[in-house]
Structure 1
Amino acid sequence: MDTILAALCALKLVPVVVLNDVEKAVPLARTLMEAGCNGIEITFRTEAAAESIARIVAEVPGMLVGAGTLLSPEQVLRAQSAGATFGVAPGFDPAVVSAAQGCGLPFVPGIATASEMSQALAAGCVFQKFFPAEPAGGTKMLKALLAAFRHTGVRIMPTGGIGADNIKEWLAIPEVVACGGSWICEAKLIDAGDWAEIGRRTREALSALR
């Protein structure tokens, strides 16, 4: 997990992606790499997720590939088998966390409350996803949570409602390692194969961060 944290800290931006067609996976990953982003989170919301991860791992060396929306132990095992570097969930489920720990997949559970943050820490999850970040109270809410938990060493990847206009505000919080965002790789752009626009949005976001 320390290695994943370091990689995400350097990356700062993790595009969150829904893929309906496995044939789009490698072109998308290559577009992100060429634009300067070597990380991606493929969500397990479609049947294309596992094979998409496997293809990117095999054909796009250097890409940090996460598996998102892991809601069951079975999905965790499928993600790990496909070659995912890390797993992410929108919530905290002890059974899912246990499955990830059992197969050695670095895992980032979702939290939105003090109780969930505490339970995730008790399960050994120091790296957590604050979700849905903006609807759950935004940076003000996260700062309030961290006031009680900062001493634990917790690290956060907020996701949900984050875009080019507010990502800097999130990254200004010391405990925020990176931000997940779906605005860069919107499903309609992927389905249309609009790699030029995805590349433009990626470069724009990274330029804003610099």
Structure 2
Amino acid sequence: MQPITQKAMAPDIIKKVDDAGVIAVLVIDEVKHAMPVAKALLAGGVSAIELTLRTPVAWEAAKAIKDELPEITLGFGTVLTVEQVFNAAKVGADFAVAPGCNPRVIAAAQDCGLSFAPGVVTPTDIEMALEQGCRVLKYFPAETSGGMMHLTNMVAPYNYLNLKFIPLGGLNINNAANYIKSPLITAIGGSWIAKQEFIKGEQWTTITQNAKEISQLIRNIRSNKKD
């Protein structure tokens, strides 16, 4: 069998996501909060963000972050339509992710050069993604689907393909290590670092502290792997 080539996510973006180790999932309700929350995350060592398309200001918030903080690896989440893919590319997003695996959306991302990770939770999902040339996949919803045990068993037949996963859904500082330790994981994603209520309440210190905590955990685990 010919090796599966990665067409859906650029190598430089894969490296940025892997180096980050964690992606902060954000719901921003007001554009004025875009820069403060991004700076709070950076101060805590988190350099990758997923802005969910659940509020009308997400596009404007993303543009503000891209213009002022180019060191942020910025992606969009809950990308469900071809139009959203094109808009994400136009804004200059580094990547996008989806909760499911829609071949039309994946194809649109490839057409406009937007790195894309579709969502998978079953072997059928994985094979649909592989058919589209995807090798970095979003595992969603992670915890309620069986966590790392489910992912490890599900991926076993595909291990020779060197797939990598970004788990989201139910992750927090208490269970993050279960995922970070696995060679299947390139980065974890979670909203607990900068909850919507924290952003609305302008709790930047809390967000920075949460970012520092997960960043330190990732460093410790990765350091132990090298020893």
Query: Which bin holds the TM-score, normalised by the shorter protein?
Result: over 0.9
Who is 2:43 aligned against? 34
Number of residue pairs matched by the alignment = 210
Who is 1:197 aligned against? 206
CA–CA distance in structure 2, aligned partners of residues 84 and 9 of structure 1:
17
RMSD over aligned CA atoms reads 0.8
Who is 1:88 aligned against? 97
Deviating 4+ runs (over 6 angstroms)? none
Q: Tell me the SS of whatever aligns to 1:81.
A: helix
1:206 maps onto 2:218 in alignment: no
Matches within 5 A, 1:52-201: 52-201=61-210
Who is 2:15 aligned against? 6
1:22 maps onto 2:25 in alignment: no
Q: Deviations over 1:99-140 (max 9, x none)?
A: 101100000000000000011011111110000000111111
Q: Tell me the SS of whatever aligns to 2:24.
A: strand
Letter in 1 for 2:158: F
CA–CA distance in structure 1, aligned partners of residues 83 and 179 of structure 2:
32
Among all aligned residue pairs of Structure 1 and Structure 2, give the percentage whose two residues are the same amino acid: 35
CA–CA distance in structure 1, aligned partners of residues 83 and 189 of structure 2:
24
Letter in 2 for 1:166: N
Letter in 2 for 1:191: K
Q: CA deviation at 1:172?
A: 1.4
**Which consecutive residues of structure 2, in runs of 5 or more, have no partner in the other structure?**
1-9, 221-227
CA–CA distance in structure 2, aligned partners of residues 171 and 27 of structure 1:
27
Letter in 1 for 2:16: A
Q: CA deviation at 1:23?
A: 1.0
Q: CA deviation at 1:67?
A: 0.8
CA–CA distance in structure 2, aligned partners of residues 57 and 34 of structure 1:
17
Q: CA deviation at 1:61?
A: 2.3
Q: CA deviation at 1:92?
A: 0.4
Q: CA deviation at 1:208?
A: 2.0
**Which one scores higher on RCO, CA 8 angstroms, separation ≥ 6?**
2
CA–CA distance in structure 1, aligned partners of residues 87 and 178 of structure 2:
35
Q: 2:56 aligns with which of 47, 63, 76?
A: 47
**Which consecutive residues of structure 1, in runs of 5 or more, have no partner in the other structure?**
none
CA–CA distance in structure 1, aligned partners of residues 89 and 29 of structure 2:
20
Letter in 2 for 1:57: K
CA–CA distance in structure 2, aligned partners of residues 38 and 196 of structure 1:
16
